[in-house]
Amino acid sequence: MRKLKNEELERKTIDEFKNASKTSLTLILDDIRSLNNIGSVFRSADAFLIEKIYLCGITGVPPHRDIHKTALGATDSVVWEYSKKAIEIVKKLQNNGVSVWAIEQTERSVVLNKFEPKENTSYAFVLGNEVRGVSQEVINACGQSLEIPQFGTKHSLNISVTAGIVLWDFFTKMKPQI
């Protein structure tokens, strides 16, 4: 078995990415403090053709050296926008018919492997602060949440790991032909 070279991977150019059919998912990053986490989320969003990322609150914005370090150019391909308040983005998207879900452990969260996204529906996932998670105000506005089941001693995953898991899960459910 031979490792493939970069030129053999048939990756899209930035223009091809921008013109490609996107996965019907938007991400909302609310008060993410680590610039490396932000960059990692951009990179995962690029990998799974995510429509857009909203950067909210204290979440850093490109261009920044530490975001670029982990994004590796994905800030050039993935559409993003800054907003001071995540709650405003949640409401705006809901008013446009988007189904918005908090990625958080709640009393009524749906376990990720049981989540069945509906065809012809646009979704948004809110990822919260590394320590506090998604704010209660945003959870209340979403009214629905997804939870990644965990079985060890820790009660949470790093936001960039969480993003990778939920993006891959959503992508494979919406594009099963892959």
Token pair belonging to 86: 């995540």
The continuous run of DSSP H or E covering 55 comes out as strand 50-56
Q: How many CB atoms lie within 10 A of CB 108?
A: 8
pLDDT at 177: 67
Q: Quick one: which of 29, 112, 126 has its CA closest to 71?
A: 29
Report the pLDDT value the prediction gives residue 47, as an integer from 0 to 100. Answer: 97
SS3 of residue 171 by DSSP: helix
Q: Each residue's pLDDT tens digit in the chain (178 positions)?
A: 999 999 999 899 999 999 999 999 999 999 999 999 999 999 999 999 999 999 999 999 999 999 999 999 999 999 999 999 999 999 999 999 999 999 999 999 999 999 999 999 999 999 999 999 999 999 999 999 999 999 999 999 999 999 999 999 999 999 876 6
- In what helix (H) or strand (E) does residue 103 lie, and over which residues does it extend? strand 99-103
Sign of CA dihedral 37, 58, 128, 119: negative
Q: Please count the other Cβ atoms lying within 10 Å of the Cβ belonging to residue 139.
A: 20
- Picking from 161, 69, 148, the residue whose alpha carbon sits closest to that of residue 106 is 148
Hey, what amino acid is at 74? Answer: A
User: Starting from the edge strand earliest in sequence, which strands make up the sheet with 145-147, in order?
Assistant: 79-83, 50-56, 23-30, 123-127, 99-103, 145-147, 110-111
Beta bridge partners of 26: 52, 124
pLDDT the model gives residue 176: 72
pLDDT, position 175? 84
- Assign domain 20-174 to its CATH architecture: 3-Layer(aba) Sandwich (3.40)
Q: What is the pLDDT of residue 74?
A: 97
Q: Is the pTM of this model over 0.75?
A: yes
- Alpha-carbon distance of 112 to 101, in angstroms, equals 11
Domain positions in the chain: 20-174
| Helix H or strand E encompassing 50 | strand 50-56
